[in-house]
Amino acid sequence: MQPWGVLRSAVPEARQPTATVATGLRDRLIALGVDAGLAAVGVASAELFAHTRDDLVGRRKRGLNGAMQFTYRNPERSTDPRRILPGATSLVVGAWSYRRSEPEPEPEPGQVRFLPTRPAGRVARYARRDHYESLRLALEPIAVHLRGLGWRATVVCDDNALVDRAAAHRAGLGWFGKNSLILLPGLGSWFVLGTVVTDAPLPAVDPTERAPHGGRCGSCSRCLTSCPTGALVAPGVLDARRCLAWLVQAPGPFPEEYRRALGGWIYGCDECQQVCPVNRLADRRDPPPAGEPDSHAAVDLLDLLDASDDALLAAHGRWYIPGRDPRYLRRNALVALGNVGDGGDPATVAALRRWLHVDDPMLVEHAAWAAGQLGRSDLVGER
Ligand code: B12
């Protein structure tokens, strides 16, 4: 027998590994994840997520998913890990930190104050590089170890096949914040989450260590009141139809009533995480590591509006863009430009002129909106 695990072939039919062996394997898997850079690793049973299924179905009925599909498309599937791996018994769930210091001081929620002379679009922290890839790579040694012992193991993260937060919660990684994010005790929410689904029987973490929904947010509800569009309609309940993080990914025109609220964001939105005292305290106690020099925290809006389709997809194709159609990046950039640009700046005026005269009614309308915001309605209708 391997020192840290039990070979599947060594297990007689219908016999499970002893509790001690299974605990040893579980602890070994957790250690492998931590060695690979995961900030936290937990283990849970792979049984159905019945409550989550009810929540998905209930929220879809209320229209709270808007046009989003993802895990909502097929709740029967996304809440049953055995659809990913028949015979699955356990989940090993990991959290990968993307907490980094900001290249520029973060503006206060609702405030936009980019100092550079050229207007800048903001990118949410999780999207500045491919943290999902790093997470997958960190989960892989766990899967490899299990496979080496003859068990089956599949890595899933940010996949429509599993509701990652429900898995993380069951595995005891943290609690559901009122902003609906999973917060790790003392560390906050700047984490992406992923899971190894396996048929190895592993003892779950002690259920008494699991935090209840909202338990550790206490009476704080800063995220609810700070959301620029009021998208958090109740603690832990998000109305995607108003969530800026969804609206920048959604097809069609950007809803006019939320354009001002978008500020400078062009992809993602971090407002409900930035205001969270748990995140702030964690940053004070343990200042985040430096951001990568090529972190793309800010994108030059005029460059973006000038770039070809190919260049945009090469730079940002990793993002979720409806139909991989770069016009949605331009749509977001025009709204952001209307919020953070300067109507007296010749380069901004040139960009507006260009997009006011393209053969794309949606972009023309967004350019006209931006021109109006910048006091340059005179540009609309110019020939
Ligand atoms: C669809 C989706 C979105 C949608 C909708 C988000 C949503 N809240 O549902 C949009 C595009 C808006 C989005 C935005 C973001 N997302 Co997203 N998204 C997903 C995705 C694909 C599915 C989420 C899902 O199934 N939601 C369905 C609902 C039912 O689940 P829920 O919101 O978690 O609801 C739970 C709570 O309400 C809780 N609950 C129930 N009752 C109660 C009562 C109380 C009082 C409380 C507190 C909680 C509570 O139980 C519910 C589940 O049963 C997952 C990846 C995945 N495959 O799981 C990533 C995921 C959730 N997203 C993630 C991230 C990072 C983000 C953003 C921060 C990105 C950004 N900066 O722009 C924002 C955050 C916005 C927010 N406040 O949620 C991470 C979250 C990591 C974490 N620490 O929690 C995930 C897990 C991706 C990943 N693999 O890491 N996302």
Which of 189, 216, 243 terminates a domain? The answer is: 216
Q: Are residues 151 and 31 in the same domain?
A: yes
Which of 198, 216, 234 terminates a domain? The answer is: 216
**151: alpha, beta or left, given left = phi > 0 and alpha = psi -120 to 50?**
beta
Flag whether 350 is in a domain.
yes
How many distinct structural domains can be found in the chain?
A: 2
Residues marked as catalytic = 158
Which pLDDT score is estimated for 211? 64
Nearest CA to ligand 1 atom 69: 268
Nearest CA to ligand 1 atom 2: 70
Which pLDDT score is estimated for 381? 83
Buried b vs exposed e over 266-303: b needs ≥16 C-beta within 10 Å?
A: bbbbbbbbbbbebbeebbeeeebeebeeebbbbbebbe
Separation of CA 118 and ligand 1 centre (Å): 33
Q: Write the single-letter amino acid at 372.
A: G
The pLDDT tens digits for 219-260 are 999 999 999 999 999 999 999 999 999 999 999 999 999 999
Nearest CA to ligand 1 atom 29: 56
Which pLDDT score is estimated for 293? 72
Residue whose C-alpha is closest to residue 269's, from 326, 323, 335: 335
Which pLDDT score is estimated for 15? 47
The CATH number of whichever domain residue 85 belongs to comes to 3.40.109
Which pLDDT score is estimated for 215? 73
Q: Are residues 49 and 191 in the same domain?
A: yes
Residue whose CB lies within 8 A of the most ligand 1 atoms, among 61, 173, 181, 197, for a mutation test: 181
Atom of ligand 1 nearest to the CA of 232: 77
Which pLDDT score is estimated for 14? 43
| C-beta atoms surrounding 38 within 10 Å | 25
Which of 216, 246, 263 terminates a domain? The answer is: 216
Reported pTM? 0.93
DSSP output for 96-153:
EE-----SSPPPPTT-----SSS-EEEE-GGGTTTHHHHHHHHHHHHHHHHHHTT--E
Farthest CA pair distance, the chain = 81
Q: In whole angstroms, what is the distance from residue 312 CA to residue 123 CA?
A: 14
State whether the beta carbon of 141 lies less than 6 angstroms from ligand 1.
Answer: no
- CA distances 82 to 59, 71, 198, Å, are 23, 15, 9
pLDDT less than 50: residues of the chain:
1-6, 10-15, 114-115
Q: Are residues 191 and 249 in the same domain?
A: no
Flag whether 11 is in a domain.
no
State whether the beta carbon of 179 lies less than 6 angstroms from ligand 1.
Answer: yes
Which pLDDT score is estimated for 188? 96
Answer yes or no: are the C-beta atoms of 201 and 14 closer than 8 Å: no
Structure-block tokens of residue 202: 């592993």
Q: Write the single-letter amino acid at 86.
A: P
State whether the beta carbon of 80 lies less than 6 angstroms from ligand 1.
Answer: no
Q: Are residues 183 and 288 in the same domain?
A: no
Domain, as residue range, for 274: 222-379
Residue 116, Cβ density class (10 Å: 0-12 exposed, 13-18 middle, ≥19 buried): exposed
